[in-house]
Structure 1
Amino acid sequence: MNLLIKSATVVDPASPFNNKVADILIEKGIITKIAKSINEDVKTVEAKGYYLSPGFFDLNCNVGELGLETKEDLQTGTAAAAAGGFTGIALTPNTHPPVHSKAEVEYLLNRAKNNLVDIYPLGAISNKREGKDMAEMFDMFKSGAKAFTDGNRPVQDAGLMERALLYVQNFGAKVISYPEDTSIAGKAKVNEGVVSTMLGMKGIPALAEELMIARDLYLAEDTDSEIHFTTISTEHAVELIREGKRKGLKVTCDVAAHNLILTDEALMGFDSLYKVKPPLRTQKDVDALVAGLKDGTIDAIVSQHTPHEIEFKDVEFEVAEYGIIGLQTAFSLALQVGLPVGLIVEKLAINPRKILNIDVPTVTEGATANLVLFSADGEWEYTRANNRSKSYNSPFIGQNLKGKVLLTCNNKQISKF
């Protein structure tokens, strides 16, 4: 795999070529030379006006395998990831069976061998994700799980969460919390507020998320543990985590790309494509999330890619499943928010890997080529034809989006789009 990328603007704070226009020569999967001008008789990509950065990494990705392959399998999931600029994805354990022992971790890693996209299975905190007994976390860690979460099931038992935080300290893993107090959220489907009242639907209060964040921050402080909150969505959640960081707690968090763009007003037509969890909140919450990204309170942006077959989404809003597919649109949505390219690379490529304590690729000579080439200005239409996922549950299909991924490169493989 030899390739010459001409006149790309490098975006990588760890590279001596950061923010500089350069030619990059890749030979056998290694960046062998970076210079102002390189002339080699190899396949060449003209990249003037485009950006080159480390490949993106998704901390919250749902792929149906194991057991739910009709929604998504590893082949289609990684294809969608590569098309969205991702060269690494962390898989939640929301499968059937769940990833709660080393057998599932090893199966996924074996299935993902020789793929352009690196796979990182996240192990369950509790056995069967039931929130009762702790799963075999150390065995899963030894087999390749870097962090532990019950996925879209919040850990309601504070004692279980405390034990998990203490236990993973012994081997340097991390606990990921999906913050929701289910006793407050109940069976509601949308954000509690003006829109839920207009729709005549019971709402999920912001308090359901914020109480769980407050609880887990106290637990992390008491145990002197690291904790990561995934898909925060409210203004006060941002404030709680900001205060936790100010106090010196070992806390990080991420936000789903669609929660940076959409508000609960999108639900006025009862379109189940907009049914997600945490639910779409208010414009005030969206503004706080964007501000949290800019000031460093929020560390990463995730796709929260959640594929579903048509029979689970093209139904009445009340019974439809939560979630949208997001791997191919996360970068475009981050641009739509108005975030600068350098900050997007930090939130999509660099910080997610730091959170999982895995090596961050760099655009330097001698480094393995783990890269994404993208345009911040180019527009593309997201269609059913160019959707790489097995599922189609995205409200953005049929829309023109800004920000186009042109090429991904990793593991001596290249995909061009």
Structure 2
Amino acid sequence: MNLLIKSATIIDPNSPFNQKIADVLIEKGIITQIAPEIETDTEIFEAEGKYISPGFFDLNCNIGEPGLETKEDLYTGTEAAAAGGFTGIALMPNTVPPVHSKSEIEYILNRSKKNLVDVYPLGAISHKREGKDLAEMYDMYLSGAKAFSDGNRPVQDAGLMERALLYAQGFDALIFSYPEDTAIAGKAKVNEGEVSTLLGMKGIPSLAEELMIARDLYLAEYTVSRIHFSTVSTTRSVELIREAKRRGLEVTCDVAAHHLVLTDEALLGFDSQYKVKPPLRTRDDVDALIAGLKDGTIDAIVSQHTPHEVEFKNVELEVAEFGSIGLQTALPLALKAGLDISLIVEKMAVNPRKILNVDIPIIAVGKEANFVLFDADEVWEYNKKNNRSRSYNSPFIGHNLIGKVLLTCNNNQSFK
């Protein structure tokens, strides 16, 4: 891949050219020159007023393969990721069979070789994600798993979580906790509050999330282990993690992009496309999440990309599945939340890789060209034609969004 990007604003905290406007020359997938003005006969991409940053990295992506390819396979999933500016994705083990042994890890890694998007499968914490016995974590780690999670199933057994934290510590792996106490959440579908009352539906209280975060923080402190919380969504959750960081615990967390702009009021029309888990919360919660991003309590923004076939979403709110696709809308939602460009790059490109302990791309001479070029002001319509996912379960399809990915490059490949 040979390309000259003209007059782009570089946003990369690790680059000597951070915040500078420059031309960037890529030859055979390597950045060979960065300067105020470069002359070459290479293909030119005019980027005045646009931003170039390290490619985004998603810590919470669901792709159906293996077993659920009618929702999403690795080809369509990585294409949607590239369209959203992601050059790396961590895959949740929510497949059939689950990713709970080295066979599934190796299958996904082999299937995703030579892709523009780097794929990192997360291994399951428990066998079959049933929350009873530890999975073959060390075997999966040797095969390439960087971290472990039971995906959208919380580990209810405190003893099992304690053993997982201790065991992972032995080979410096990371445990992801999906914080929900199912005994409290029950079978409810929406956030507990005024909206759930208006809808006439039983609600999921914030306590269900916060109680599990409190428990796992105690376990992490007791075992002197690292822990990462996936998709926190409430004010008290942010406060608990902020206090834990203040006390020196090795804790990180992320937030789903849709939780930064949507509240549970979106469900007043009974539109099942807004049904996600954790559920959409209140305006106070949204404000607390944004504040947590700005003060460093929340480390990363994720897409929580969760594809479903039409028959699982275009049904009554009560019976619809949780989740929406989000790879192509993560950047526009982060911009809509009012976050500045540098903070978005930190939370979507740099910190996710730090958390997973993988190499962080740098916009610098001699480095591999792993970047996203985007326009923070361009208005575009997200529709079924430009949606790259196999599924269409997004509340934003048919809407105009602000902030468009123009070019994604990695592994000597590009996606426009």
Decide: shared fold, TM above 0.5. yes
Superposition deviation, residue 148 in structure 1: 0.1
Measured against aligned partners, the alpha-carbon deviations of 1:140-188 in whole angstroms (never above 9, x if no partner) come to 0111110000000000000000011011111111000000000000000
The residue correspondences of 1:351-366 to structure 2 (distance < 5 A) are 351-366=351-366
Structure 2 distance, partners of 1:43, 1:112, is 28
Structure 2 distance, partners of 1:368, 1:389, is 27
Amino acid at match of 1:400: N
Counterpart in the other structure of 1:247:
247
How many residue pairs get aligned? The number is: 416
Q: Secondary structure at the match of 1:400?
A: strand
Q: Secondary structure at the match of 1:183?
A: helix
Structure 2 distance, partners of 1:43, 1:172, is 44
Structure 1 distance, partners of 2:17, 2:270, is 49
Measured against aligned partners, the alpha-carbon deviations of 1:332-371 in whole angstroms (never above 9, x if no partner) come to 0000000000000000000000000001000000001100
Measured against aligned partners, the alpha-carbon deviations of 1:265-302 in whole angstroms (never above 9, x if no partner) come to 01111110000000000000000000000000000000
Counterpart in the other structure of 2:29:
29
Measured against aligned partners, the alpha-carbon deviations of 1:180-210 in whole angstroms (never above 9, x if no partner) come to 0000000000000011011110000000000
Asked if 1:256 is matched to 2:253, the reply is no
Counterpart in the other structure of 1:338:
338
Q: Secondary structure at the match of 1:343?
A: helix
Counterpart in the other structure of 1:125:
125
Measured against aligned partners, the alpha-carbon deviations of 1:112-167 in whole angstroms (never above 9, x if no partner) come to 01110000000000000000000000000111110000000000000000011011
Measured against aligned partners, the alpha-carbon deviations of 1:216-245 in whole angstroms (never above 9, x if no partner) come to 000000111000000000000000000000
Counterpart in the other structure of 2:59:
59
Counterpart in the other structure of 1:287:
287
Q: Secondary structure at the match of 1:372?
A: strand
Asked if 1:80 is matched to 2:80, the reply is yes
Superposition deviation, residue 403 in structure 1: 0.4
Measured against aligned partners, the alpha-carbon deviations of 1:14-56 in whole angstroms (never above 9, x if no partner) come to 0000000011111111101111111111111010000000000
Amino acid at match of 1:362: I
Q: Secondary structure at the match of 2:369?
A: coil
Amino acid at match of 2:301: I
Measured against aligned partners, the alpha-carbon deviations of 1:52-96 in whole angstroms (never above 9, x if no partner) come to 000000000000001000000000000000000000000000000
Structure 1 distance, partners of 2:39, 2:268, is 56
Asked if 1:139 is matched to 2:142, the reply is no
Structure 2 distance, partners of 1:141, 1:43, is 41
Structure 2 distance, partners of 1:24, 1:267, is 45
Q: Secondary structure at the match of 2:244?
A: helix
Structure 2 distance, partners of 1:51, 1:177, is 33
Q: Secondary structure at the match of 2:290?
A: helix
Counterpart in the other structure of 1:229:
229
Structure 1 distance, partners of 2:200, 2:398, is 29
Structure 2 distance, partners of 1:194, 1:59, is 32
Amino acid at match of 2:400: N
Structure 2 distance, partners of 1:46, 1:177, is 43
Q: Secondary structure at the match of 1:232?
A: coil
| RMSD of aligned residue pairs (Cα, Å) | 0.4
Structure 2 distance, partners of 1:313, 1:13, is 40
Q: Secondary structure at the match of 2:139?
A: helix
Counterpart in the other structure of 2:96:
96
The residue correspondences of 1:30-45 to structure 2 (distance < 5 A) are 30-45=30-45
Counterpart in the other structure of 1:238:
238
Amino acid at match of 1:358: V
Structure 2 distance, partners of 1:414, 1:116, is 7
Structure 2 distance, partners of 1:250, 1:16, is 29
Structure 1 distance, partners of 2:311, 2:178, is 26
Structure 1 distance, partners of 2:97, 2:354, is 29
Measured against aligned partners, the alpha-carbon deviations of 1:357-390 in whole angstroms (never above 9, x if no partner) come to 0010000000011000001111110010000000
Give ranges in structure 2 of 5+ residues lacking alignment. Answer: none
Give ranges in structure 1 of 5+ residues lacking alignment. Answer: none
Structure 2 distance, partners of 1:27, 1:173, is 36
Amino acid at match of 1:264: D
Counterpart in the other structure of 1:378:
378
Q: Secondary structure at the match of 1:114?
A: coil
Counterpart in the other structure of 1:106:
106
Counterpart in the other structure of 1:180:
180
The residue correspondences of 1:260-339 to structure 2 (distance < 5 A) are 260-339=260-339
Superposition deviation, residue 328 in structure 1: 0.1
Runs of 4+ in structure 1 off by over 4 angstroms are none
Structure 2 distance, partners of 1:48, 1:197, is 50
Structure 2 distance, partners of 1:142, 1:36, is 45
Could you tell me the percent identity over the aligned residues? 76
Q: Secondary structure at the match of 1:82?
A: helix
Counterpart in the other structure of 2:392:
392
Structure 2 distance, partners of 1:15, 1:374, is 18
Structure 2 distance, partners of 1:276, 1:415, is 29
Superposition deviation, residue 316 in structure 1: 1.1
